[in-house]
Structure 1
Amino acid sequence: MSKLNIDQKTIKLLLTDKHSDFLIPDYQRPYAWGEDECATLWDDLFTFAFPNDDCDAFKSTSDEYFLGPIVTFKNDAGQLEIIDGQQRLTTIMLLLRAFYDKFANMKDKQSIKVRDSIAGCVWKTDEFDDPDMDALKIDSEVASDSDKDEFLDILRHGAVGPMAHSAYSR
């Protein structure tokens, strides 16, 4: 019988862990969030980060945001199969990828640091924390082939289809 471990982690710790290798298994339902659910998550995150629309009111050392549970099971291949929380985790990964692109042309020290931090959440990294842009930290067995390809293209390249591959550079 498997041992049950419960760990409370920040999303950054969860995603930057070098052993993070998430798999949405085929027994999960397909990604189903629409604009309303995504907007609700975004509004909730924004309200948390900018209380009363004041970015100076956020205290990162003391404020905590509860994203909800992300329940995983380590399979025989060492991947973390997502049992619960795949809609939230998938949306967070897509948001992070969008922010990664948003920071692409910003050259100040803080923006570069944030972009590098995001890269460590989306892509697997080597021993020097350099991201392998072909090795995503999440995969899905549940989506149809075209949906899966779109999801992976967005995460890898920031876009979908043939334009994704020509626009991709690092």
Structure 2
Amino acid sequence: MSKLTVDQKSVKGLFQDCKASFLIPDYQRPYAWGEVECKTLWEDLFVFSFPNDNCDQFNEDDEYFLGPIVTFKNDDRKLEIIDGQQRLTTLMLLLRAFYNKLSHMKDQNSQAMKQDIEKCLWRANNFGAYQKDDLKIASEVATDNDKEEFIAIL
């Protein structure tokens, strides 16, 4: 019998876990979120992060509930995503967009954020260097064309 463990993690904690390797198993539905769902998530995150449109009012002690992310550790030690794959995939795409934008910024804060995002998107090799061809999330659902598009975006 499998053991059920409930952990409360921040998104950063979930994605930056160096052992995390997410897999969207073949029995999951393909990515289906459209502009409406993505915009809803973005606006919700924005309102949380910028209360009253003022970043100075952000309270680091406040918590944002993303919703449950249910995973199962398979025999390959990958975390199969049972619930939450639409949210996780959308967050990965948002992080990748931020990463691209931050690549053009040279100030210290932007570069520090870029390094934090790297830890969320890619796995590191044995020397701690992040491998841009080794995503932390993979999908068995997507067709070969979908996989190529997804990898190209990330």
**TM-score, normalising length: structure 1:** 0.88
Aligned counterparts of 1:79 and 1:94: Cα–Cα separation in 2: 20
For 1:4-19, what aligned pairs fall within 5 Å after superposition? 4-19=4-19
Aligned counterparts of 1:63 and 1:106: Cα–Cα separation in 2: 28
SS of 1:83's equivalent in the other structure is strand
More displaced stretch, 32-41 vs 119-128 = 119-128
> Which residue of 2 is the match for residue 111 of structure 1?
110
Aligned counterparts of 1:122 and 1:116: Cα–Cα separation in 2: 10
Q: Which runs of 4+ in 1 moved over 6 A?
A: none
> Which residue of 2 is the match for residue 78 of structure 1?
77
> Which residue of 2 is the match for residue 87 of structure 1?
86
- Note the C-alpha offset of 1:126: 3.1
> Which residue of 2 is the match for residue 38 of structure 1?
38
Deviations 1:4-46 (A, max 9, x none): 1110000101100111100000000000000000000000000
Matched residues, percent identical? 64
Q: Which amino acid aligns with 1:119?
A: E
- Note the C-alpha offset of 1:107: 1.0
- Note the C-alpha offset of 1:143: 1.4
* Structure 2: tracts of 5 or more residues without a match: none
Counterpart contact for 1:22–1:80, Cα < 8 Å: yes
Deviations 1:139-169 (A, max 9, x none): 00011221121112211xxxxxxxxxxxxxx
Larger RCO, structures 1/2 (Cα 8 Å, 6+ apart): 2
Q: Which amino acid aligns with 1:141?
A: E
How many matched pairs?
154
Q: Which amino acid aligns with 1:111?
A: S
SS of 1:23's equivalent in the other structure is strand
Aligned counterparts of 1:127 and 1:109: Cα–Cα separation in 2: 26
SS of 1:139's equivalent in the other structure is strand
Aligned counterparts of 1:96 and 1:127: Cα–Cα separation in 2: 24
